[in-house]
Amino acid sequence: MRKATYIIVGAGSAGCALAYRLSEDPANRVLVLEFGGTDAGPFIQMPAALSYPMNMSRYDWGFASDPEPNLNGRRLATPRGKVIGGSSSINGMVYVRGHACDFDTWAEMGARGWDYAHVLPYYRRMETSHHPGHDSEPGLRGTDGPLHVTRGAKWNPLYEAFIEAGRQAGYETTADYNGLKQEGFAEMEMTVWKGRRWSAANAYLKPALKRGNVDLVTGALVRKVLFDGRRAIGVEYERGGRIETVRAEREVVIAASSINSPRILLQSGIGRAADLQALGIAVVADRPGVGANLQDHLELYIQQACTQPITLYKHWNVFSKGLIGLQWLLRGTGLGASNHFETCAFIRSRAGIRYPDIQYHFLPFAVRYDGRAAAEGHGFQVHVGPMRSKSRGRVALTSPDPKAPPSIRFNYMSHPDDWTEFRTAIRLTREIFAQPAFAPFRGQEIQPGEAVQSDEALDDFIREHAESAFHPCGTCRMGAADDPYAVVDPEGRVIGVDGLRVADSSVFPQITNGNLNAPSIMVGEKMADHILGRDPLPPSNQEAWIHPHWQTAQR
């Protein structure tokens, strides 16, 4: 039987970081199992082509939610990366660490050692930030990590108009939302370097593979973890129609996404005992939290017509796309080298909210995220949604067959507060678009449309048009070892067994503010130290900015 010191299941955001760190010691042999394949090709590597890979079965698992009862029974796409780099190879490349209060909340929920003071050093270790203003907040941004983080050229005047409109509406601005002050309107950061998508595969996995003690097996569908009693000893996987096994001398680490990590645990006999027995799966550990606590960000596209022909719509034709692609292929520059989410905002929806609970991505184009439904004419839009929905869902097996798709039920909009928060987000957005900064550009409202004003009309719009921001997490929740609904302890060890850990976005106790790629990589970085038995990096003494009048003022 083939052997490795460590087996990592999944070459995604966290898995690539784990491979890089676990292989720093040449005595360790690391085996990475990935069902997907190569990330070679322009659709992944060109940032502006971001809508393509997540709609290609070659790169995406193709999951969809169960019919969502509060969204008119719609099944929402749930893309997850099926390629080296995982979802960091098919995502929008937006880089958001999360708010300091997110991680303090994790610690309060039982994830001891995951407060902001303890995660900040790992963010610094993992990144090379190319933000020029480091001197104003020393000790916050990394300068020599594997992950390059850059900002766009802000080639379009609409980017600056968005920030200025926020200022005119009375909101804060911030020089660095990934620094101490997240709240406010800002330039957005992206994982793009020298014109290429800087995925976890480019940043971590490819350098690790050059060391000689990391093996990557692609096309490997992991069927289950193998146990000797209650100790994980290896993995069974299918590749090319053959079932193979591999033995872990120390540990198996599951880093297969918030959908596939709980799925693999369940198939391995770790989950709610009654559910496993009903499927004929032998119970190894009764952990009812496996697959529970599923969270996501929902968002709406609020679109406005633009009265000047300056948006990306003028490039929405075969000839222009060809020129952009050619410039990118030859030089790695031009419009192909950006994800075009170059400004953003984090605001609070009302007084009494301690830290931001609404996020904006601004785009100088009126188009769906998947690129399928371009507006007819010039326009601009924001993606907007609440950050901390109280709704919770679950991932469950539909069959003991490892190839059977799982049941994914988010239970979107199942808490009454979700509706209040979304209506508020729409109305606050309209107020921002109505500011003088947008006067030279502002045409009619495309979506929702100016006739959609009442609570009832807004709710109808939300039911029909809310889309996932593709940030699922929480399904193998980290918590105290005596918490019956926690799946892993604060060092990632699966509670109730030995030799098995989980390290990816599934361990998040609560969803973080913003996009999830950065915190997912951070989890891989920090869990690597726990796996290796290293002392954690020394905690930071930096304190995040909180609006001084948050209890009485919304802005």
Question: Is 547 within the bounds of a domain?
Answer: no
Instruction: Check whether 134 has a pLDDT greater than 90.
Output: no
**Which residues, at least 6 apart from 242, have a Cβ–Cβ distance to it below 8 Å?**
none
302 close to 147: Cβ distance less than 8 angstroms = no
Residue 10 in marked binding region: yes
CATH number of the domain enclosing 193: 3.50.50.60
DSSP H helical ranges for 29-128: 42-45, 100-108, 116-126
Average of per-residue pLDDT values in the chain: 96
pLDDT cut 70: percent of the chain above it:
98
Q: Across residues 337-355, what is the average pLDDT?
A: 97
Grade residue 310 by pLDDT with cuts at 50, 70 and 90.
Answer: very high
Q: Is 315 a catalytic residue?
A: no
Residue 479 in marked binding region: no
Question: Is 550 within the bounds of a domain?
Answer: no
39 close to 204: Cβ distance less than 8 angstroms = no
Question: Is 467 within the bounds of a domain?
Answer: yes
Q: Which two tokens stand for residue 440?
A: 């030279």
Q: Are strands 192-193 and 189-190 parallel, antiparallel or unpaired?
A: unpaired
Find the Cα–Cα–Cα–Cα dihedral 273, 278, 282, 287, rounded to 10°: -20
How far apart, in whole angstroms, are the C-alpha atoms of residue 48 and residue 334? 10
Question: Is 541 within the bounds of a domain?
Answer: no
The residue behind tokens 């109505």 is: 434
What does the pLDDT read at residue 152?
Answer: 95
Residue 20 in marked binding region: yes
Closest CA to 123 of 542, 547, 545: 542
Question: Is 388 within the bounds of a domain?
Answer: yes
- Please state which of the ranges 27-41, 318-332, 381-395, 507-521 shows the lowest mean pLDDT: 318-332
The whole model's pTM is what?
Answer: 0.97
Residue 312 in marked binding region: no
Structurally, the chain folds into a number of domains equal to 1
136-194 per-position pLDDT tens digit: 688 899 999 999 999 999 999 999 999 999 999 999 999 999 999 999 999 999 999 99
Grade residue 336 by pLDDT with cuts at 50, 70 and 90.
Answer: confident
Question: Is 551 within the bounds of a domain?
Answer: no
Question: Is 538 within the bounds of a domain?
Answer: no
- The catalytically annotated residue of 99, 361, 471, 547 is 471
Question: Is 122 within the bounds of a domain?
Answer: yes
Closest CA to 522 of 78, 107, 98: 98
268 close to 284: Cβ distance less than 8 angstroms = yes
Grade residue 375 by pLDDT with cuts at 50, 70 and 90.
Answer: low
Q: Which residue range forms the structural domain that includes residue 520? A: 2-532
